Amino acid sequence: MSRRMRIVPSLAVVFCAGLVVLQPNTAAAQQPNVDFSVSGTSTVRSWTCTVKGVLKVTPGTNAPPLPGLAGGAQTATLTVPVKTFKCPNDEMTQHLMDAMKPEQYAEITFRLERYVVTGGRAEATGSVTIHGVTAPLTLPLTFEASAGGLQVAGNTRLDMTKFSVDPPVVMMGLMKVGPQIRIEFKGVVAQ
């Protein structure tokens, strides 16, 4: 088996994050509208996996205004189905699935608690749940009105070990995935 085939991204899963308030099984019923890229490193090389998630925003009445949402957002929900992650090869994807256990932890979520807007940027604070572990998270976001609705983009770094995800180790320990991952996302929420 080649080194390339053995590299395992591990919590590529993660996050994948945006504004969110989870409502059970909403991701399955809605079309994905956010593209995620999750990347990290290993002792052999860097890697990137992708996934699509669902971001749903409920307009508010007196929350901080956002482009195209004068009353701001009352709630926002981001769900990322773990089983749909795609890595550069099938073996990497399988290692990710082994680490993330999608049959037990089917989704990654971020629950919005509050946000502060400054121009076209915002800082969203909430909690992210990955692999059954919930932790606080603050995300820098950008917003802009688009023809299809409200465009949202952002990025963050996470340590997968804080979510009880063991970074993959293969080739009898010769190849180890680093615990730090970077998540970037962008999508449009229809208004």
Query: Residue 94: which residues within 8 A CB-CB, separation 6 or more?
Result: none
The dihedrals phi and psi of 10, each to the nearest 5 degrees, come to -110, -100
Distances (CA, A) of 111 to 32, 120, 121, 127: 17, 21, 19, 5
The dihedrals phi and psi of 135, each to the nearest 5 degrees, come to -145, 155
Domain boundaries, the chain: 3-189
| Nearest residue to 80 (alpha-carbon basis) of 95, 96, 66 | 96
Query: How far is the C-alpha of 41 from the C-alpha of 48, rounded, in Å?
Result: 9
Q: How high is the mean pLDDT of the chain?
A: 81
Q: Quick: pLDDT tens for 110-137.
A: 989 999 998 879 999 999 999 999 999 9
Q: Looking at domain 3-189, what is its CATH homologous superfamily?
A: Lipid/polyisoprenoid-binding, YceI-like (2.40.128.110)
Q: Quick: pLDDT tens for 52-107.
A: 999 988 888 888 888 778 888 888 889 999 999 999 989 889 888 999 999 999 99
Q: Quick: pLDDT tens for 11-55.
A: 332 333 333 332 333 344 468 899 999 999 988 889 999 999 999
